[in-house]
Amino acid sequence: MNFKYLKELKDCHLCPWDCGINRLDGGKGVCRVGMPEVAYTNFTEVLKSYSITLLGCSFFCTYCNAYRISQYPESGWRYRGYVDPPALVEEILHAFKSQYAQDMSVNKLSFTGGEPSIHTPYLEAVVGLLNKEISGLEKQESPPLEKQGISQMESLESPHQLDVGLATNGFITRKTMERLSRISSYFNFEIKAYDTELHQALTGAPSEPVLENAEWLAKKHPEKIRVFRTVVIPGLNQEEIHKIARFIQEIDPSIHYRLVGFRPHFMLYYHPAPTRSLMQELVEDCKKLGLKNVDYSGYHPGGSQVTEQMINNGLKTLYHHLNRAGCYRKPRNCGDCPENHHCPAVILEPWTNLPDD
């Protein structure tokens, strides 16, 4: 672990929280993670991808369906941990050569989480090593991985040799966004809400950095946007869909926008899920606003119809869920919360957080 990329984690400024802590010496920022750690790896048939899932997140989403990963280590689960980039690259190459991958026509590498952007130097090291190794295999003159220093891969300006995808919440500095755009072939970029007040209640973070990065990416690298997406939570953020749709339409109406049906989980374990009719209605609304490429995935056959009262009381309902979980700050901002190093609102078993009668 003597690679140069680790030095950046001694004074971390990768996201707008700007913690400046030493992640290598036990320091805990808002994301609460130190060394980059791998949760697990798997093949993703839909994306024809080999996926690396990384631990930790810069958000604290009330509805996270991967909270055991995003809220690590407070979630109490244990995963693989730190994997040296050379070892991970060897694993990736071995996976791509497997019969399983060939039968599935796997041709991409993807990073997800949690939030992979908080490990940007690690991603650069892995992708750099992987591209070097692929070139070496083609030329049959590459030195063994264990003899290659990560410092050799710090400049990643050469063309990609493998499609690399990144799923992100977009809450990163512009410098980090630019770095990720150099190593990524495509982004699955999630915009959780438009208005900052609701975005903070949902995630603990303001929406402005997310929207700014979404606009920058759409204008500078529109070809790298696989999809902008929003999870539709009935009665909480469904009114935001129209605002996000207008935001995207004003940049480029051809950008792919996908609405994802909320699955009750974490603090919102007992909150109603969207019906199929609601998802279809929102898609049609987005099209009427001028978007040319919008669709949805997922709904709940037992979802509830949304009432005006649910919509009007959405923010109040959200803070009620937060209070029940142990978060009492309003407006919510995890960046200046004195308990952000060890949040009391991590629910280890969401189904035990029973709703009011």
Identify the pLDDT of residue 224.
97
Identify the pLDDT of residue 189.
98
**Alpha-carbon distance 3 to 87, whole Å?**
13
Identify the pLDDT of residue 190.
98
68-to-58, 71, 76, 165 alpha-carbon distances in Å = 14, 6, 7, 22
Query: With a cut of 50, which residues of the chain have pLDDT below it?
Result: 141-142, 145-160
Q: Is 21 exposed, middle or buried (0-12, 13-18, 19+ CB in 10 A)?
A: buried
Q: Taking a C-beta distance cutoff of 8 angstroms, is the pair 205, 331 a contact?
A: no
Identify the pLDDT of residue 76.
82
Identify the pLDDT of residue 355.
74
Identify the pLDDT of residue 137.
59
Identify the pLDDT of residue 260.
97
**Alpha-carbon distance 73 to 343, whole Å?**
11
Does the pTM exceed 0.75? yes
Rounded-to-5 percentages of helix, strand, coil across the chain: 40, 15, 45
Identify the pLDDT of residue 176.
97
Element (H, E) at 96: helix 85-97
- What would you report as the CA-atom Rg of the chain, rounded to the nearest whole angstrom? 21
Q: Does domain 4-352 have CATH number 3.20.20.70?
A: yes
